[in-house]
Amino acid sequence: MELFKVYSRNQASIILTLITVIVAATITTIDTPSYAQSTTFYCGKSKGLPVTFARTQDGRKLPVIRWTSNNYFPPPWTAQRRCVEVSQRFQRSYNNRTLKYISSGILNKQPVVCAGISKDTVCTSDNLLFTLKRGANPKAVVTRILDNRGLADGLVHSESESDDITVDFDLYLERVEPEK
């Protein structure tokens, strides 16, 4: 019985390439949450209100933000316009693989909520999701407009008493109750 077969350099190179591709695909699949394989963000309606939804590969329709009030946001945008624009920003961040966390911060002296790849994300114009009114408490606003069940597991707790908030978006989407 022959334990080792002699392969040409070309055959060995092809075999090594195939093994590398299989291992990489396996690792990527293991590290990717179920919703993240092909998620689309869009603005839809639920109970007459604009809602930013995430549509997962398996067809689940997950409410991300319910645009229930204009009280927290600067004029002149309506809830509908904000929903459309913010849904596009979620999609862009998702496509850029920068939607691991949602964090609050300050940008141009305004409170903002942005996407990031770490808990210590710094908000910039490139990762901005939405702007809040001056003086708004980001923690209070985010906990009001995001799904409570998703926040129960996705909220990253900190030792400080600040008004800043960070949400683990992977955990958040795993826990959100899908809409029918």
Predicted confidence (pLDDT) per residue in 58-95, tens digit: 899 999 998 987 777 777 888 999 999 999 999 999 99
- How far apart (Å, rounded) are the C-alpha atoms in residues 147 and 61? 13
Predicted confidence (pLDDT) per residue in 118-140, tens digit: 988 899 999 999 999 888 888 88
Task: Work out the pLDDT band at 149, boundaries 50, 70, 90.
Answer: low
From the centroid of its chain, how far is CA 120?
A: 15
- How far apart (Å, rounded) are the C-alpha atoms in residues 169 and 100? 5
Is the pLDDT at 16 greater than 70, yes or no? no
